[in-house]
Amino acid sequence: MKFVIASDHAGFALKEEMREYLSQAGHEVIDLGAYTYESLDDYPDFAEKVGDAIRRGDAPRGILICGSGVGVCVAANKMTGIRAGICHDTYSAHQGVEHDDMNVLVMGARIIGSAVAKELADAFLGAKFEATEERLLRRFKKVLAIEAKYQCGDGSNSPA
């Protein structure tokens, strides 16, 4: 699968390891940075790069890594069309795609190790949205309606 990946300084080492692992597994990895360890970089910049790439259609999914996972998850979910989920267990990594069409896997490099991160990425990239189930489609449409309700079209998420 083709996907984008990015991290801030706190996730840099794990991102590098994941990029190599997933490339060797046959995935097409588009690395959006950080390209070097920079202790003063800011996680929202990388969340935005991944979100923009997905919204442009460069790849259908992305992986974001920061220290806890929380910062990039919050930032990514501010973008229309991005459904990022922080996952530190394999069930959530595949179920988030299958039930909620999650398109960004978020991991905390200070929370999990590389073995778990590899399992999470495999579960995430191998999962498919089960849009054929009525209950899942109904719920997904409600999520999209909430997103549309609060999107102003100017890049902000202020109530309409």
The beta-strand segments (E) located in the chain are 2-7, 28-31, 61-66, 84-86, 104-108
* Contact indicator for 28, 72 with CB cutoff of 8 Å: no
Known catalytic membership, residue 27:
no
Catalytic residue among 9, 27, 66, 73: 66
Per the structure block, which two tokens stand in for 154? 């100017």
Determine the distance from the C-alpha atom of residue 137 to the mean position of all C-alpha atoms in its chain, rounded to a whole number. Answer: 21
Closest CA to 52 of 93, 81, 84, 22: 81
Pairing assessment for the beta strands 2-7 and 104-108 based on DSSP bridges:
unpaired
88, 94, 99, 152: which one is catalytic? 99
Look up 73 and say whether it is catalytic.
no
| Catalytic site positions | 66, 99
